[in-house]
Structure formats: C-alpha cells, structure tokens
Chains A and B, each alone.
Chain A
Amino acid sequence: MTVFVNNRTRCGKTRREFLWQWGGGFASIPLVDLLIRDGVTDQVHAGQGGQERQQRGPYFAAKAKQVVFFFLNGGPSQVDTFDHKPALKKHEGQDYHRKIQIGSNGRAVGKLVPSPFPFSKHGESGLEISSLFPNVAKFADDLCVIRSMHANTPTHSPGILQMNSGSIVTGKPSLGSWLGYGLGNLNDNLPNYVVMTDHRGGPRGGAAAWTSGYMPAEFQGTLFRSQGAPILNLKNPVGIDGGAQRRSLDVLLKLNKNHLGRRGGDSELAARIESYELAFRMQSGASEAVDIENESKATQDLYGLNREETEYFGRQCLLTRRLLERGVRYVQLYSGGGADSWDAHDDCIDNHGRHSLEIDQPISALMADLKNRGMWEDTLLIWGGEFGRTPTSEGVRKPGRDHNHYGFTMWLAGGGVKGGQAVGATDEVGFTAVDNRVHVSDLHATILHLLGLDHEKLTYFHQGLDQRLTGVEPRRVVEEVLA
C-alpha cells in the first residue's frame, strides 16, 4: 500500500496540515480525493480503490537535496575543455577514420585539428583541464568528469529537449519537474524550479526545455530574471502600494470566506483563498531573494560582478546561491543564448574563449561559496551542454567544430559525487565515446539516484503508460560517479 510521502506545500502549509486546519467540517475527507482533484496524484489509480498507486520518493537516503545545472547552450567542445587528446597533434590534418554522420546539413566534417588551448594537470588528482577554465580547475579534486557521454541527436533543439527531459520528442516533463514531482518543495515563498536564461536570449526551442509536459503546470520551471522583478506579476500594479494591496486582499478574503460558507466548505475554494495569501508572501519573499545589494562587496567581487564580462553570469550565480539558501530545489542557468551560444562552428578560439571567460569565475565562486557556507554536500552541480563538438574542424584557418553527440563531456560535483576523477573515455581523438559509455538517460538515472530517487520507480501515469524520465529502454546508475 502506498503512503503519500510528498511533503509538497500547499499554500504555505503541507496539504495535510492545510486540510486539518480548514475546519472540522471536511477535515476528514481522505487526502487522496483532494489530491486527485488537484491533479497531484493520478486519478486513474486513485479512482480504483484496489489499484496500487505510484510510490514517490525519496526511496533511499539522498546524497544531495538541491541541484544546479550549468547548461552550456549550443554544445561545448570536449577536446578544448575537459577531454585532453594529445593524439590530435599527431593526426592533425587527417580525416577521422570512422565513417560518421553529423547532422549539420551537408557541411564538411573537416580534418582533425588539435585544441588551441593548452591542458595541464590540476589538484592532487592531476585531472587535466584546459586553459579555458583556470578557476574551475582549482576545484579539480571535486569534479567527476564524465568523458563518455553520448546522446541521440546532433540537432540543437531535440538535443536540448533530450538533455532536459530524456526525450527528443516535445511534451515530456523536464528533470526539474520530475524532482518537484518526486521530492516536493523545500520552501513556501519561492518557486521550486527556477530557470535563468542568457541575456542574449533563451535556448532553441524556448520554454519546452523547462516544461512540465504532461504533468500539471505547477511542476514547470519558472523563469527568473536576475534584475528587477524576478518573476512575472510579482510587482503590484501601478498605483497600488503594499498597504492598498493588503486592504484589497482583506476584502477579497472576507467575500471569499462568505462564499465558502454558503457552500458549506470546499477544499478547492479554500485552497484558492490560501493561494492569495501565499502570493502575497511570495511578493516580498522573491523580491528579498533577488536583492543582492545586501551581499558584501567582497562577495560580489568574488562572483565577478565588478567585471563586465562576468557580471551577468556572476549575478545569476550569486542569485543561485541565495535561492538555494531559501530552499529552491533546482536551478538551471543557461550560458549562451539567441544567436550567440557555444555553437562554435567557425571559430572555437573566439567563441569558447569568450564564453568560458563569462562563466569560469562565477562558477568557481559559487563552488567556493557553497563550501564556505556548508552547502556543498547538499548541492549537486552539473555542467554541460546538449552535446559536444567534433575534434575535426569545419572552420576556415581556425578550428571551428561541428556538433557531436557520439561522444562528449559533462561534469558533476558536490553532494554524493566522487570528485577528482574522470569516468569513461572517448576514442584516441575524442570523437566517439568508447569506454564506459554513458547515455543521457544514464546520467538522468544517476542524478535521480543522487537525489534519493529510483529512476525505475519514479513514474507518472500518462496515456496508458507509467512514464519515466529515463524512458522505456533499460538505463543504469553510473556507479563510478558515486562517492
């Protein structure tokens, strides 16, 4: 028999508390029904008394509670960042020996070309990292670099969908939605799942990357701006100050309570009354969360707010730390957007040089800050894009690299992750994952595991199937990643 373990808050209280407090009258209505009506639990299963409902997490002790995903939109090149391939020097100018197709609309795959960025060993582990990430490299012993990632498509938009939702087809819930569904909320006044896009624009395919798909809208990602009002409709309308807002809400509350009384009570109506109070609290809560002026100059400088190139991403990283402190479950930060992403077809030197400069310092600042504040063990950090890039060049005179989903690199760090190591490997030149291959869905299974969720048990019934983030194919938790 299933126990409803989700402690997701409703209107500032857990649903259970909320029902209890909402007055003797209907306090004893079984929880299940209210959850059904809210679309929380599955109407199908709950509708049939005998049928088993899905168990939701956590299933075992979680290593991490919160997640930050640095999404390098456009696809960063592995051989220029975390997957050192000295053999490229030897094979420079040669064709890649395997017949392989890249989905770049007929462009030449080009000849092998070594990285223009020197690699060196870092930390006690001696992990090899290129000169693009000198600050992140200081945390080499914390990084678990997966060099054998592979995905299903060399095309941006379905690739972004797959990295977020496990499927290249649109309409599936994203990782953050699954975490919200499986683990519930840690806070009352802020969204559970926050997305911050690049100032140059969002990823291709837009909000599909943080959709809740077939799950209710409450599980979808909320876009957060790092300046001004962080979320839509947070500010009072023009001409209404805090006092006026409160007075209006008081009248609304009174009229709504009368109405509720006439009905003899109703959980939905009561929940809606409470949602206005939560909204009111959120107005101040979210505004307070984004107010980074209270942070010391030293902290701001640490994140790079004092430098033009790092200011934007730095602000987002600092904001991320504040959101984590306030219990946001999942924060996803996009680096690169619109027409200027990591999609370095023509010139890796310029493209990756610029983009890494923007994020290297802020990411390392967040890492240091999390450690200083004792938040490191609770937080899982994920770094990577929808795929990687070819070790060959299609650029003219400059190394410009094409999309590559056959082999690429991502790294994990933080709670539950065994740092200072590389897992898996690509071939001699870094094109194809050959050793200990990790599919995107294997990565998802591993992430869920670190959060205490079993990817095979965390299911959502939709269109006749118990849907999973990791799909129907067998997937595995990458054990080597775990501390």
Chain B
Amino acid sequence: MQLPRFQLELLSVLCLALSLTIGFPAVHGAEPTEASAAKQSIPINFVRDIQPIFKKHCYLCHGHDVQEGNLRLDRREHALKGGDSGPAILPGKPNESPLAILVSGKDPDGRIMPPPDEAPALNSTQRALLIRWIQEGASWPTGADDEELAGAGLWSLKKVVSSGMPTVKNKDWLRNPIDSFILQRLEQQEMLPAESLPALALARRAAFDLTGLPLLLEDLNRFEAENEKDSERAYRNLVDRLLASQHYGERWGRHWLDLARYADSNGYEVDGVKPMAWKYRDYVIRALNKDKPYNRFIMEQLAGDELVDVTSETIIATGFIRVGPWDAERGASVQPSEVVEELYNELDDQLSTTSQVFLGLTVGCARCHDHKFDPISTEDYYSMVAIFRGLKREHSGRTEKTRPAVPPRELVEKNAADAQAAKLIEKIQKLGAPLRSGILESGESKLPEDAVAAFGLPIDKRSDEQKQLVQRWTPSLDKRVGEFLEDDDLAGKHLPQEIIAQIRLAQSEVTELKNKFDYPEGYFFHEPSSTAPLTHLLKRGSSKNPGKVVQPAILLEVVEQFGEKPPLFEAPDEFTSRRRISLARWIARKDNPLTTRVIVNRVWQFHFGQGLVRTPSDFGRRGVEPTHPELLDYLSDWFVNDADWSVKKLHRLIMESSTYRMGKSQNVEYAVRDPSNRYLWRFPNQRLEVEAIRDAMLAVSGQLNRQLYGPSMYPKIPEDALQSGYNPTDVWKEFDETDASRRTIYAYLKRTLVVPFLDTLDFCDTTTSTGRRNITTVAPQALELLNGEFSNRQAVYFADRLIAEESQAIPEKIHKAYRLALGRAPTQTESETLAAFVDNTIKRALAKMPKAADANERLHKARRKALIQMCRILFNLNEFVYTD
C-alpha cells in the first residue's frame, strides 16, 4: 500500500527526519538503546544500528519500490552515490552531509526528514547515531544491502524443481538418475568418473557405510559365492541384508545423535546425569531400523506428545528437545536472574538445534540482532522461542527427574488411578499395622536390635541416628511383612483372617491399577499447562532487557519467500499450547524446500563424506551453494513423492548408482583442476568415524557384544584421564568388560569427560549440533591406536582368535587375519612381509626366554607374542580405518 506522498523536489536527498514534533512510539528490538548510542566507545554497526532506521523511516520513499529524487537507501551503491541533488552522505563530514542536516532540522530552509506526515520521526538517539555513523566514515559493509540480507534469491528457499534428466554421452555408465546428473557435470569438465570398485572392496564400503561394522566371515563368504554367479544381484542382496540388519540403526542413529547434540549428562559444573536419556537414543535407533518415514520422525521428536496417535514412544521421542546441555547450578539457583538467564540459554539451544537440524538455518544468530545475512529477524527468533516456552523441566534442585511417558489424555485417568492406589496402600498399611509391630516385637523381623528399638519409638521421639536406622531397614521390614502376608499361618499369628483377606484384596487392586497404567519412564520435557508463559523480545539478547511480548510464529520472511502466508498456529487444547505441533507440521510438509533438501543432503553426506551442499546445517547465505543443484532437487522431490520419506529407499537409490561405486584412486590432473572434488570425479576419501574404528576392532577381535539398546555402558577410562576431573573418584562406573564391549553408540557420554579414545579420534562436540565432524590427522591418534589400552587388549583377543584356528601355519593365520580385518586376502608381498615379521619376533622372544621352560610352552608363548604384535599392526593400517 502506498501513502499519498508529498513531493519534495528540492530535497532529492534522503528522507530522514526530525522529531521536534510528535513523539512517535519507539520501535522494538531494532532500536538501539540510549545507552549504547551514548557510549562513544562502541563503534557503530551499520546492520545493527543504521539499517533499521533507514528501513523504518526512509524506505517508503527511498527504497526498493519508490526512489524520490532518485535516491535509494536500501542499496550501498546508490546510497553512497546519492540522488538528483548529489551525494546525501559525505563520509566523515556530518556537517556537510545533507542527510545529517535534514534529519537534525538544521536545514536553513527549514526542511526536515522524514516529512512528518510521511513516516515516523526520528528520536534524538537515532539522529545521534546517524550523525556518528557519518562521522565515523559511514561504513556500509558489502553484502549488507537490505535485499541481499533479506535473502532475495536465496537458493534454498526456492521451490524444489525436478528438472528433466540431463543427457550424457557415456550412457553405459548410467545405472540410475543420480549418475546422469553426476556424469553430465563431469562430461562438461571433460573428466571421466573413477573406475568402479572391485566387488569385495565395494562390499566392505557398503558394510561400513550402512552398519559401521566389517562383514562377518560367513556374510563375506556368502557374498563371494553370490558374486560368482551374478555380481549385480549379489550386491543388491548385500545392500538389502545390510539395510535389514539391526546394526543399521546403530550406525545411522549415531549420525542423528551428532545432530541432536545428544549426551547422557548435562555438562557444566554439576554435569549431572540425564536420567534415562538413553531411551531417546534407543528411540532413534529403533526409528531408523523401522524406517520410520522422515516426516513422521520430525513430528514425533518435536511434538510427539501432541499427536493424535500419541504413544509412550512418541513422547520419549521429544527427548530430542531436552538432551541439550543444562547448567544446573544456575538453572536451580536461588537467584531468579540466574535462572532466567539459564532458561534463555536453554531455549536458545532448543530452537538453534531445531532450526539447524531440520531447516539448515542458523536462527540462533538472531538472538541479539537481526541475522546479518539471512532473512531472520530478532522478532522471528523470539517468536520461535515462544514455541518452546511452555516446556518444563522436571527436576528437584540440581537433580533431574524422569517422567512416565503418559499420553496426556490418559494422564487424568492415570492420576486418578494413582490417587486410588495411594489410598489403597494407606489402607493396607493401616490394616497391616498390627502385623508389622507384631513381627518386630516377636523378633520375627530378623532386624538388628537397635533397629527394632528405633521402629518401636514414635517418629518424633527418634534420634537422628534412629531415623537413619529406620530408613535403612524399612525395605527389609516391608519385605518381611510381605512374606508373612503370603502365608496364612504366619500372617494369622498377628492378624485375623478377615483382615488378611481385606489386605490381599486391596493388594490385588493396587497391582491391577499399576498394570493398567504402566508407562515407561523417560527423559523429556512436558507442558504442564496449555497456556505458555509470555515471551518477550529481549533487547540485545539480554534477559535483563525485556521488550515487547511476541506471539509464536515461524520465520516470517522465510515463509514469505516461500510465497506463502504465515502458517496458522493451532489453538491450545486442554493439555498443551499446541505450538510445537504447529511448527512440526510446517517443517514436515512435503513442499517445505528446506526440510527435504536438508535431509537428502545429509543422507548423501553420510554416504560420501561430503554433501552436495557442503555446509549441511547452513543453507543460508553464509553456507555454500550446492555443487549439483539439479541433483539435489531431483533427490528431494523423489524422496517425498516416490519414496514417501523412506530413508532406506534413499540409501538404496544412492548405493545402486555407479556414482556410489566409484573407487578412490587419485587423479593428479583432476586434483589440480578440481582440488576439492566438487565434480565427484572420484569417491571422496575420508577416515572412518571413531565408532566404526572401535566397533570394527571389537568385531575383528571377536569380542563385540552385539546386544542392542538399553542403559549406557562405561568404556575403560585411563586412571590419568579421570584425575583431571573435578571429582576423580566418583564419575565413572567400574569396568565391566562384557558390557563395555558393546557398540560405541552405547557408551556413556559425559559432557565434561568424553572417553579419551573417542575424544582423540574426532568425536563430535556434545554441546551443539554437529552436521559434519571435524576430521584431523594428528600424532595423539597414532599413540592411542598404537599404545592405547583398548587397542592392545583387542590385539590380544584377535591373536588368540587366530591361535584358536586349526591350522598353525603362520601364512594361513595371516590370510585369516586379513579376511577378518580387511575383508580380503593379503597380497603376496603383504603376506611375506608379515610372515617375516612374525618369524623374526618369535626368534627374538625365544632368545629372551629362560631356557628351562618347556619347549612347546616357550614356542607357544613366543608365537602368541608375535601374533599379538602383528594384530596390533593390522589395527593401525591405513586400510583398516579407510575403506576403499
């Protein structure tokens, strides 16, 4: 809508203005505070301080749509050049700059900007800011123009367009549409795709890719046999078997947990346990194993408690929101200011994680000021904060609590049942009181005398010591009473039969109630009320500086660029505010181009080591554009329309392609022309993740405990590493080797004490969402794998496994070891090299041993020692940690 405009022909300058006149209401958020303007030491920031003034007060006449006097202030180039009357801004010279003169009302002709009937007047702070900005040189960073910042043309916000198949010359190479897109670009560059991998190497890559484990020998044998007959079918069958394996969820679940910044403890000083957080971890593994459609996966994690078909499982899924860090010392402080500040940090974690993981947007940047590059305002940020504002953390002081995962509709019934059960229990206690005291008095309780005496006293007469005794022995006494009640004769000594019958009836009623409303406990937030507390926009991100109240909303400008109206938020129902489900619905829509592109890109990245978009959690301006935009869109469209959000179908499509089957051979010429392999002329080379390395060592040594799910296990941590902790003695559970030989995804993740083996080998940061791990190659990793306790222990098991083989010939053992560790037979050179090493090591060992010992025994010991050293070498091979 355009207001009638007063033509100011003489003033072909900027419309900025004076405010002698009417006081206009202050702008929220964007407006700099008096304090910040007054402080000369703080340099002016164009985006933060100046642009909002232009936006609100000048664009109407000097913006994108209208340019009075040919002056526009939304673009750097034009603004600095000026309009019909020449430059409006003379950097460093506020006294000569028409803009400064006009807004300060110092124009000799009495003109002021903005004209009072056109736009709100500037206040004194704003005028001061503009003058200072010009004084300081009128800095206007490139890339900060309004339309650039507004994301006009941001590729990721455009609709997904599935274009036709590109035509290519070498049609023989094509196995599916992916190949057409890849080959087209290669052919344009006159590049050839790398040769495809031999069958066994491909099998090893596929196995690590999908399950994070090497193939079992029987699976390897089976694949080889099938491969003899029909290699295409053998590979397809292998991929199917791997996708059906329960280990698939453990591998891909871990990728998701990186994104979800999952850990079992809170971090910070207290670093308390997140009780049963592992249930969320298990939910993720199960969801992937079941191939839960991705849109449903989104809905459950963000709003599983608000779904029509809510179950305990979908409630536990919302653990996604709660597994971030929590500074318990501040969150449970007696000082309200500390609690509030911590709360906003938590909300920031929740919405930053959500927006990065699902949308690839760094909304967190807008906490203190409008996003400098993406179309996300501070108001957007706090509108999203409002979405999570109603959630409550169950805790008692610094200790966190679980909750039963009860669907809200059943909660009322459950509460009623709990109350009923409590009454029944009270009744049971009352009726059974004579039995209890009888057992105590008669000595049948088998409790120590001092405890019996303590129980005999009224509560207020008990000393502190006696109170402790009572507390300590109550379970034993209760158990004893229970035993008596089961036996007519025993109970009959202290109670009449009719009372016994009454007690038993009440007991069965309690059991029935408990069974009927038996819900698993879990770790998740809940909304205690359908009315969420008010959310204020916080000026400059400070909770001490609350601004206006904002309503829940979704990124207004992003939505606008989708070409849509802001989605409506559902009305609260009797249980929750229904804000999260409104957000989740919007994210999980088929035609949300961010959601689909982001997930397809993630899956691609976890196969290839790098995504088509190489900033997997930033699809904004600071991220990079896709290397193959058409392929990305093809896959996004295919994923929702053909594959019905099935991630497993996407794996199949990718792994079927010739692109996926390329080898990793270096090509010097291509490496010079395309050093970062943007065109995918070979399969990117990337070291296996630490989980895959550790799990492979366990699998190869024969120690892997394949038990799925359940509470976390505690890998052995060297004593020295524990010493660095604040509380060295009480942080880690005793080593239980069988349990600790489970897959690495089950390792307890303590935020202040990450298992050194994981830490050294580039485990992800546990405090924020990780879209792609850092991969480093440094000496401490070599020390860990060469000298570390874990790898040496596994080397011993591996050697013993080889020793247990029937044939004692060293070459056969080497052969077996290679099959297990690398999924192939050794070459002749490899076999000879290792055989010579083993032989040499045996000789040296024998020379050092006392002669007196039994000859066979000596030889056995020497051979074992040599094989252990050989196995240690195999674990350290490049080929062990890099698939071909």
Given A29-B672, A272-B777: A207 touches B752 (CB 8 Å cut-off): yes
Contact A233 B780 (CB under 8 A): yes
B117-125, B274-282, B307-315, B869-877: which one contacts chain A? Answer: B869-877
Contact B727 A465 (CB under 8 A): no
Identity of the chain A residue whose Cβ is nearest the Cβ of B620 in the assembled complex: A464
Number of A-B contacts defined by CB within 8 Å: 282
Identity of the chain A residue whose Cβ is nearest the Cβ of B792 in the assembled complex: A237
Determine which of A37, A191, A254, A461 lies in contact with B833 in the assembled complex, contact meaning CB atoms within 8 Å. Answer: A254
Identity of the chain B residue whose Cβ is nearest the Cβ of A37 in the assembled complex: B775
Contact A256 B877 (CB under 8 A): yes
Contact B872 A214 (CB under 8 A): no
B169-177, B329-337, B385-393: which one contacts chain A? Answer: B329-337
Contact B676 A33 (CB under 8 A): yes
B362 to chain A, nearest CB (A): 3
Contact A217 B760 (CB under 8 A): yes
B56-64, B247-255, B561-569, B662-670: which one contacts chain A? Answer: B662-670
Contact A461 B622 (CB under 8 A): yes
Contact A255 B777 (CB under 8 A): no
Q: Does A171 contact B (CB under 8 A)?
A: yes
Q: Which of A415-438 contact B (CB under 8 A)?
A: none
Q: Which of B829-861 contact A (CB under 8 A)?
A: 829-830, 833-834, 837, 840-841, 844
Name the residue in A191, A201, A213, A256 with the highest tally of chain B Cβ atoms < 10 Å from its Cβ: A201
Residues of A within 8 A of B41 (CB): 474, 476
**In the bound complex, CA of A156 to CA of B330 (Å):** 10
Contact A170 B267 (CB under 8 A): yes
Q: Per-residue 0/1 for A149-169: is the Cβ within 8 Å of any B Cβ (1 yes, 0 no)?
A: 000010111100000000001
Interface range on chain A: under 10, 10 to 19, 20 to 34, or 35 or more? Answer: 35 or more
Residues of A within 8 A of B718 (CB): 232
Q: Per-residue 0/1 for A5-19: is the Cβ within 8 Å of any B Cβ (1 yes, 0 no)?
A: 000000100000000
Q: Does A98 contact B (CB under 8 A)?
A: no
Q: Does A349 contact B (CB under 8 A)?
A: no
A50 to chain B, nearest CB (A): 11
B415-423, B653-661, B700-708, B783-791: which one contacts chain A? Answer: B783-791
**In the bound complex, CA of A195 to CA of B720 (Å):** 13
**In the bound complex, CA of A258 to CA of B833 (Å):** 11
**In the bound complex, CA of A96 to CA of B334 (Å):** 21
Residues of B within 8 A of A191 (CB): 780
Q: Does B687 contact A (CB under 8 A)?
A: yes
Contact B751 A170 (CB under 8 A): yes
**In the bound complex, CA of A279 to CA of B774 (Å):** 20
Q: Does A296 contact B (CB under 8 A)?
A: no
Given A255-B830, A255-B877, A271-B777: A207 touches B333 (CB 8 Å cut-off): no
Contact A272 B335 (CB under 8 A): no
Residues of B within 8 A of A248 (CB): 786, 837, 869, 872-873
Q: Does B691 contact A (CB under 8 A)?
A: no
**In the bound complex, CA of A270 to CA of B840 (Å):** 27
**In the bound complex, CA of A126 to CA of B51 (Å):** 52
List residues of chain B with CB under 8 Å of any chain A CB: 41-43, 267-271, 325, 327, 329-330, 333-335, 337-338, 345, 352, 356, 362, 364-365, 368, 371, 373-374, 614-615, 617-618, 620, 622-625, 664-668, 671-672, 675-676, 678, 685-687, 718, 720-721, 723-728, 751-754, 756, 759-760, 762, 765, 767-768, 774-784, 786-788, 792, 827, 829-830, 833-834, 837, 840-841, 844, 865, 869, 872-873, 876-879, 881-882
List residues of chain A with CB under 8 Å of any chain B CB: 11, 25-26, 28-30, 32-34, 36-39, 43-44, 46-48, 101, 103, 105-106, 153, 155-158, 169-171, 191, 195, 197, 201-208, 213-218, 222-223, 225, 229, 231-237, 239-240, 244-245, 247-248, 251-252, 254-256, 258-260, 263-266, 268-269, 271-273, 275-276, 278-279, 282-283, 337-338, 461, 463-465, 472, 474, 476
A to B CB contacts below 8 Å, 6 in the list: A25-B668, A47-B614, A201-B725, A258-B827, A268-B687, A474-B43
> 17 more A-B contacts (CB under 8 A) besides A258-B829, A464-B620?
A101-B335, A170-B268, A204-B269, A205-B271, A206-B725, A207-B752, A233-B783, A255-B879, A259-B877, A263-B665, A266-B685, A272-B782, A275-B782, A276-B876, A337-B726, A464-B374, A465-B365
